[in-house]
Amino acid sequence: MARSRRWDQCLEINPFSFLPVRINNIELNLVEDSRKKASLNGNSLPSQRTIEGKFSLDRSPMFSAPISTEMSAFVLGCDEPSVLGGQGIQPTPLTYLLFGVMSCFASTLAMQCALDGIKLDDLSLTGTLYYDLGPVVTGESMPIIRKMEFLVHSSASLESEIEKAKKRCPAVFAMENPIQTHIRQS
């Protein structure tokens, strides 16, 4: 597979480098700005996300929260499946978990390809989350989440980029490394 120039080399010869360079739906000028900020801060770019949601005691969605981005705002809703006493109208929390990790990995992979000068013609993922809800309803101490698997679909050969993206994806990192979780009542 022939690889094109690295994107930063393209910027060096592009007299219009002030214009956004978008490869694989990734705006590389913004990635470069973030890289520069991180390098000036010990390779760190601290961030945090806070969501405040509400559980409904009488209807679907069981849990909802307003979510805002840099460009928009909307409300996400979530239900438990009927096996856990929910109505199953909205996506489940584990569906959002799988979707979130998949979308984060796909974006990280597209960015890694763009940084390596690979313009993709197509990219899609099939993700499967293997879990056991028995411990939730019985109280037994057994693993609930067993494993997560992704199958990457692309006409490009992406083995090395998949490995790089796996190491750099924040959501994959969160799944593979224990996160300190503190839960308390206000």
The whole-angstrom separation of Cα 51 and Cα 68 is 9
Q: What confidence tens digit (pLDDT) does each residue in 3-13 have?
A: 444 545 544 44
* CATH number of the structural domain 1-41+93-177: 3.30.300.20
Q: Over range 113-136, report the average pLDDT.
A: 96
Q: What confidence tens digit (pLDDT) does each residue in 33-73 have?
A: 999 999 999 999 999 999 999 999 999 999 999 999 999 99
Domains in the chain: boundaries: 1-41+93-177, 59-91
Q: Name residues whose C-beta falls within 8 Å of residue 119's C-beta, 6 or more positions apart in sequence.
A: 4, 23, 24, 113
- Checking if the pLDDT of 167 tops 50, the result is yes
The whole-angstrom separation of Cα 9 and Cα 21 is 12
Question: What is the CB neighbour count within 10 angstroms for residue 138?
Answer: 9
pLDDT at 7: 47
The whole-angstrom separation of Cα 15 and Cα 11 is 8
The whole-angstrom separation of Cα 161 and Cα 112 is 6
63 - beta bridge partners?
55, 78
In our burial notation (b when 16+ CB lie closer than 10 A, e otherwise), range 79-118 reads: bbeeeeebeeebbbbbeebbeebbebbbbbbbbbbbbebb
pTM of structure: 0.87
Q: What angle do CA 185, 78, 25 make, to 5 degrees?
A: 110
The answer to whether 135 and 144 are in contact (CB under 8 A) is yes
